DNA sequence: AAAAAAGTGTGACCGAAGTCACACTTGTAA
DNA sequence: TTACAAGTGTGACTTCGGTCACACTTTTTT
């Protein structure tokens, strides 16, 4: 839980009492490799804060092709935010790539803490601001770049992921075929 | 200004005094067709709330090709949010397609109102949440869909834009060539 | 240790979308 | 009202990336 505190205090400082209270709204959960935290069609009751391990957020098209929206590592938040905020059924999957731990929270928690503690509303706003900017960057990249440039941008964003995971997953994140990606660095 | 009030109260209710105060942080500005509200390389001092008219937020790649990030109409907010929040130079342009009016605000305003009024921090958080979800949807679409599907999704999102603006702009939003877009509905 | 499964590189082929060129229409300005 | 610019559709050609196939390697399982 100390991790969560540091994470929040990176944005806004808290008293011990405040953190004590906030803490009660999060529960720790161990996650094993290949375990699903969220499955298409589920009610999206939770959002997750990654403490350790590696996870992928992805979806499938009609032909069953897989597209990765996000890799999540330490201190990243993840959910099917569309469904989470709008209380719809999940359209994405969250699967564990490397075992680790996450904190589990709910929409009620987010709204309640935001309403009760101005500081927490601030925290969530800042997090969302950063997330918004990151997504916009991804859109610009998807719109304008060649596979080559996307790959280079990926390397910058996730330098540590390059060795750890199958290239296939990187291809699914970039939106190119495995073969095309392979040809990018073999020439 | 009444428009701004309705817009905010759609999310959180305000007293007259509160709105009086908030109001002083926004100034109205008339915008003419083809006028730029923001130019690549500028310091991004402002964000804009659209009262009327139509605007495009776009950027250029090295070859000078144009990509539209967002069309903005009534009640949409726009800026180069990346640069705005991080106080960097603009990498995008905002240009007026149809004359109208906007409200002009600043980062200081956003932060100040958020800090002073919990309600406003809430307002900004909710706006950001919606924006985040919309961007994520766009990413999913860009990753997985054919030009055909993108076009159909566009029609749903901006049904009113179809007749008003040149098809070239739609193509730039979808990330396909003008010719490809043209062939989508001529067969 | 053997067998099965997953990951990776590479060639051959194909097809969807980009580019270029041009004709025709519509809108705008002199 | 004429002239010029902008917008639009369509054909010909090209090209980049996808798909399929297969060999080889590495990892996992039994």
Query: What are the boundaries of each domain within chain B?
Result: 2-107
Whether residues A67 and B140 touch (CB distance < 8 A) is answered with yes
Structure-block tokens of residue B65? 């090709």
Q: What residues of A are in contact with residue B121 (Cβ under 8 Å)?
A: 118, 121-122, 125
- CA A63 – CA B149 distance, rounded (Å): 14
Indicate yes or no: CB of B135 within 8 angstroms of CB of A139. yes
What does the pLDDT look like over B2-21, one tens digit per residue? 999 999 999 999 999 999 99
pLDDT band at residue A148, thresholds of 50, 70 and 90?
very high
Q: Is B146 exposed, middle or buried (0-12, 13-18, 19+ CB in 10 A)?
A: exposed
> Residue range A10-35: average pLDDT?
96
B132 and A81 within 8 Å at the Cβ level: the answer is: yes
Looking at domain B2-107, its CATH class is mainly beta
Topology, domain A2-115: Jelly Rolls (2.60.120)
Per DSSP, the residues of chain A read -HHHHHHHHTTS---HHHHHHHHTT-EEEEE-TT-EEE-TTSB--EEEEESSSEEEEEEE-TT--EEEEEEE-TT-EES-HHHHHHT-B--SEEEEEE-EEEEEEEHHHHHHHHHH-HHHHHHHHHHHHHHHHHHHHHHHHHHH--HHHHHHHHHHH-TTHHHHS-HHHHHHHHTS-HHHHHHHH--
Mean pLDDT of A117-141: 97
| Average pLDDT of the residues of chain B | 95
Instruction: Label residue B12 exposed, middle or buried (CB < 10 Å: 0-12, 13-18, 19+).
Output: middle
Q: Can you give the pLDDT at residue A89?
A: 98
Nearest CA among B142, B163, B148 for reference residue B54: B163
Measured CA to CA in angstroms, residue A5 lies from A113, A118, A124, B76 at distances of 14, 16, 14, 35
> Given this model, what pLDDT does residue B187 score?
62
Is some CB atom of chain A closer than 8 A to the CB atom of B88? no
| Nearest CA distance, B27 vs chain A (angstrom) | 23
Structure confidence at residue B185 (pLDDT): 84
Band (pLDDT 50/70/90 cuts) for residue A62 is confident
Tokens 């605000």, residue?
B105
Q: Please report which confidence band the pLDDT of residue A187 belongs to, taking 50, 70 and 90 as the band edges.
A: low
pLDDT computed for residue A75 by the predictor = 94
Cβ of residue A147 lies below 7 Å from strand D: yes
**Token couple for B43:** 């310091």
Query: Which of B121, B140, B175 is nearest residue A59 as measured by Cβ atoms?
Result: B140
Residues 22-81 of A with CB under 8 A from B: 59, 61, 65, 67, 69, 81
Does residue B186 have a pLDDT over 80?
A: no
User: Using CA atoms, how far apart are residues A143 and B37, in angstroms rounded to an integer?
Assistant: 22
CB contact under 8 A, A114 and B129: no
C1’ C24 / CA B185, Å? 18
What confidence tens digit (pLDDT) does each residue in A70-111 have? 999 999 999 999 999 999 999 999 999 999 999 999 999 999
Strongest mean pLDDT among A20-24, B33-37, B144-148: A20-24
What are the phi and psi torsion angles at A40 (to 5°)? -40, 130
Give the Cα separation of B70 and B92 in Å (integer). Answer: 11
């Amino acid at each position: 839980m100390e991790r969560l505190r540091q994470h929040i205090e990176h944005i806004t400082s808290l008293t011990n009492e405040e953190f004590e209270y906030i803490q009660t709204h999060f529960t720790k959960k161990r996650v094993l490799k290949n375990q699903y935290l969220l499955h298409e069609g589920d009610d999206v009751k939770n959002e997750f804060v990654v403490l350790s391990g590696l996870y992928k957020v992805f979806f499938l098209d009609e032909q069953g092709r897989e597209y990765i929206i996000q890799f999540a590592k330490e201190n990243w938040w993840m959910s099917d935010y569309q469904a989470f905020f709008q209380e719809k059924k999940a359209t994405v999957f969250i699967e564990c790539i490397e075992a680790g731990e996450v904190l589990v929270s709910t929409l009620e928690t987010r709204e309640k803490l935001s309403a009760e503690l101005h500081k927490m509303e601030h925290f969530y706003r800042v997090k969302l601001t950063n997330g918004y900017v990151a997504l916009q960057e991804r859109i610009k990249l998807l719109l304008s770049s060649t596979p080559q440039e996307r790959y280079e941008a990926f390397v910058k964003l996730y330098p540590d992921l390059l060795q750890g995971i199958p290239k296939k997953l990187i291809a699914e994140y970039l939106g190119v075929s495995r073969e095309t990606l392979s040809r990018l660095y073999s020439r």
